């Protein structure tokens, strides 16, 4: 089996082909500044593999992933990447390469990769939530091997949280909600709070603890709503020490209210090798769409 | 088909038998103060119907609903109803009445009833969230016709929310979390804020608006996480006018960030007749367990 993966990011497309053991056979990265150019390079990459069986796409967005929508496969008008508005990723790929395609969000692709990789390691896992914390905050969910969302993709970066008592003067950066989670805990909030880029803010600066407090609340919300087997935090803002700060607040906020696995197994950083969660997820989604056929919006494998 | 329903509440058990159109044939209510007595009356009620095919149970809790757990069917040690600790509802019923049984939480039963009733009315519905706001706050979720929860049932009453600026002095009533949603927006908070029972607090009292603000945030969290087709608010605190206040805050907080149906269709009160959401849900869960057999924890019908 020869499986394709497109990690379609706002700054680059990572294209790969691999086998059903999720081993990468070849991989190339293209800038995503100019859609026509990026898509041409993407198509040409996959055309070099005439044996290709199927492609999984994990895309920035918002992207329409519901099969019954007229704009299925399209990066919608709401994307901040103006050049990509109304670009139909699925149609462009399928018109050039006649294989089954499965598309989901970038974070869902990563969540799925973590789900698959955990299964591969022999962990008992049914459900996983994946947060990415970088210039924004996004989250993907896999429940019993499926994606969810009757009305579209998750946008859990924009939930409200209890304000930290030492952070009340900060209005938050979200243009839509001010002090939602993304407005309070994404990477750019370092600049706003301290005047420095996050890379230059030492971990004992209070701004880290404030952000950990907010992210811990998000993890509590997700714990009490989804009851997943684990919650993964990825993205440029994360580090093992910062994750420990999140764990500490999470423990205080949840206060033992529901049973969860040991914290160091429950709240983790991505465990797929080489930052490859989304690629592993894409490969497996490609395998699934090859087996089940297109038309299963939620990667059914119950 | 003769289907059984047990709405096992902390103050009363509502037992019913009905048909596959969810029409109640007979119904009786028993006090739930003394478990032995209540369970005896419950069993005797159903023993009057030797044709009974299956029973659905929607239970107060926390109750263990995961089939692979040793204490499946048990009201756990965490229940505030001390007399009911470690009572095995499923075993008690099945030992006396030899039919397939499906058990879920009271709020999941209501969510399922709303899901089924909406389908019956011809609504396009895949997923529904049901909040009950009374002495506590609980919530149930149906996603694509299934219940979820790899690690157990939802406890969405205990999420944190952004504090209302006029409510900062109130510490909240939750013994576990202080100012979680339940601690801030359940019925007893009227007494704590105003010294009066909620029934005697006029709707223009600011405490109503504060509670609506918190419940709206919960609905936003759920909207961005689950993307359900609708969110139902039930329980003694709800009224059409209070729901309108929740809608107003919801609209402000979501700020159009994701597409939802018109607000009066999206945020509703229970629409199953005669306060019968859980009974309808139980009947359908009984029908499902009869068809699919026991062993399907999540009422699979994808």
Closest CA relative to residue B225, chosen from A115, A149, A25: A149
Cβ-based contacts of B260 with chain A (< 8 Å):
151
What's the pLDDT score for residue A299? Answer: 47
Tell me what the mean pLDDT of segment B99-113 comes to. 96
Look up the pTM and report it.
0.95
Residue B31 has φ and ψ, to the nearest 5°, of -65, 145
Backbone angles phi, psi at A113, to 5 degrees: -60, -40
Task: Taking residues B111-117, report their average pLDDT.
Answer: 96
Nearest chain B residue to A159 by CA distance is B221
Question: Which member of B149, B159, B177 has the closest CB to residue A255?
Answer: B177
Contact A174, A147 (CB under 8 A): no
For A12-40, the DSSP string reads EEEEEEE-TT--EEEEEEEE-SSHHHHHH
For residue B12, pLDDT over 80 is answered with yes
How far apart are the C-alpha atoms of B161 and B216, rounded to whole Å? Answer: 10
Per-residue pLDDT for chain A (302 aa), expressed as one digit of tens each?
A: 999 999 999 999 999 999 999 999 999 999 999 999 999 999 999 999 999 999 999 999 899 998 889 999 999 988 889 999 999 999 999 999 999 999 999 999 999 999 999 999 999 999 999 999 999 999 999 998 889 988 999 999 999 999 999 999 999 999 999 999 999 999 999 999 999 999 999 999 999 999 999 999 999 999 999 999 999 999 999 999 999 999 999 999 999 999 999 999 999 999 977 778 999 999 999 999 999 888 765 544 33
Give the start-to-end residue ranges of the domains of chain A. 3-108+274-292, 122-270
In terms of residues, how long is chain B?
302
H-state helical runs in B60-205: 89-96, 106-120, 181-185, 188-194
For residue B131, pLDDT over 60 is answered with: yes
Q: Do A225 and B228 touch (CB under 8 A)?
A: no
CA pair distance B28, A36, nearest whole angstrom: 68
CB–CB contact A153 B298 (8 Å): no
pLDDT in tens, B137-173: 999 999 988 899 889 999 999 999 999 999 999 999 9
Cβ atoms of A254 and A227 within 8 Å: the answer is no
Interchain CB distance below 8 Å, B150 and A177: no
User: Listing from the earlier edge strand, what are the strands of the sheet with A267-268?
Assistant: A137-143, A127-133, A230-234, A267-268
B23 contact partners, CB below 8 Å, separation of at least 6: none
Closest Cα in chain B, distance from residue A115 (Å):
13
Alpha helix (H) residue ranges in B140-187: 181-185
- For the segment B28-48, what is each residue's pLDDT rounded down to a tens digit? 999 999 999 999 999 999 999
Chain A: residue whose CA lies nearest to B128: A150
In whole angstroms, give the CA distance from residue B40 to residue B36: 6
Would you call the peptide bond into A62 cis, given omega within 30 degrees of 0 as the criterion?
Answer: yes
Chain B residues in contact with A139 (beta carbon < 8 A) = 225
CB B124 within 8 A of CB A278: no
CB pair distance less than 8 Å for A225 and B225: yes
Beta-carbon separation of A160 and B156 below 8 A? no
CA distance A148 to chain B (A): 7
Burial B34-67 (b: 16+ CB within 10 A, else e): ebeebbebbeebbeebeebbbbbbbbbbbbbbee
- Closest chain B C-alpha to A300 CA, distance in angstroms: 9
Please report how the helices B89-96 and B35-47 are oriented relative to each other, as an axis angle in degrees rounded to 10: 40
B221·A221 Cβ contact <8 A: yes
Chain A and chain B share a number of CB contacts under 8 A equal to 134
| pLDDT value of residue B298 | 56
Interior CA angle at B20 toward B16 and B21, to 5°? 95
Average pLDDT across chain B, whole number = 94
How far out from the chain centre does Cα A120 lie? 20
Distances (CA, A) of A67 to A76, A105, A301, B115, B119: 14, 14, 17, 22, 21
- Choose the closest CB to B253 out of A160, A163, A217: A160
Question: CA-to-CA distance for A231 and A223, rounded, in angstroms?
Answer: 8
Using a CB-CB cut-off of 8 Å, the residues of chain B touching A224 are: 154-156, 158-159
Contact A283, A17 (CB under 8 A): no
Check residue A296 and give its pLDDT.
65
Q: Do domains B3-108+274-292 and B122-270 have the same CATH topology?
A: yes
Read off the DSSP letter of residue B80.
S
Level-2 CATH architecture, domain A3-108+274-292: 2-Layer Sandwich (3.30)
Tell me whether residues A221 and B225 touch, CB distance under 8 A: yes
What's the pLDDT score for residue B88? 97
Assign domain B122-270 to its CATH superfamily.
Answer: ATPase, nucleotide binding domain (3.30.420.40)
């Amino acid at each position: 089996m020869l499986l394709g993966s497109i990690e379609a990011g706002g700054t680059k497309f990572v294209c790969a082909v691999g086998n059903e053991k999720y081993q990468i056979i070849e991989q190339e990265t293209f800038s995503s500044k100019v859609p026509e150019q990026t898509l041409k390079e993407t198509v040409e990459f996959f055309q070099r593999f005439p044996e290709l069986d199927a492609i999984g796409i994990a895309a920035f967005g918002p992207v329409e992933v519901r099969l019954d929508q007229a704009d299925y496969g399209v990066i919608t008008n709401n994307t901040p990447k103006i050049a990509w508005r109304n670009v139909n990723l699925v149609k462009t790929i399928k018109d050039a390469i006649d294989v089954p395609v499965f598309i989901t969000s970038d974070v869902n692709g990563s969540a799925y990769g973590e789900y698959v990789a955990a299964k591969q390691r022999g962990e008992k896992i049914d459900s996983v939530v994946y947060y990415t914390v970088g210039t924004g905050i996004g989250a993907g969910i896999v429940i019993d091997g499926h994606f969810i969302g009757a009305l579209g993709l998750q946008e859990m970066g924009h939930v409200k949280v209890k304000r930290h008592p030492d952070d009340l003067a900060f209005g938050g950066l979200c243009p839509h909600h001010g002090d939602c989670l993304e407005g309070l805990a994404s990477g750019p909030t370092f600049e706003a709070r301290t005047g420095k880029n996050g890379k230059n803010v030492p971990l004992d600066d209070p701004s880290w603890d404030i952000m950990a407090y907010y992210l811990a609340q998000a993890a509590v919300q997700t714990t009490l709503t989804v009851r997943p087997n684990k919650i993964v935090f990825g993205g440029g803002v994360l580090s093992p020490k910062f994750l420990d700060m999140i764990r500490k607040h999470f423990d205080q906020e949840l206060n033992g209210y529901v049973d969860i696995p040991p914290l160091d197994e429950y709240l983790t950083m991505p465990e797929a090798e080489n930052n490859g969660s989304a690629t592993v997820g894409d490969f497996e989604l490609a395998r699934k769409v090859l087996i089940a056929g297109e038309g299963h919006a939620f990667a059914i494998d119950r």
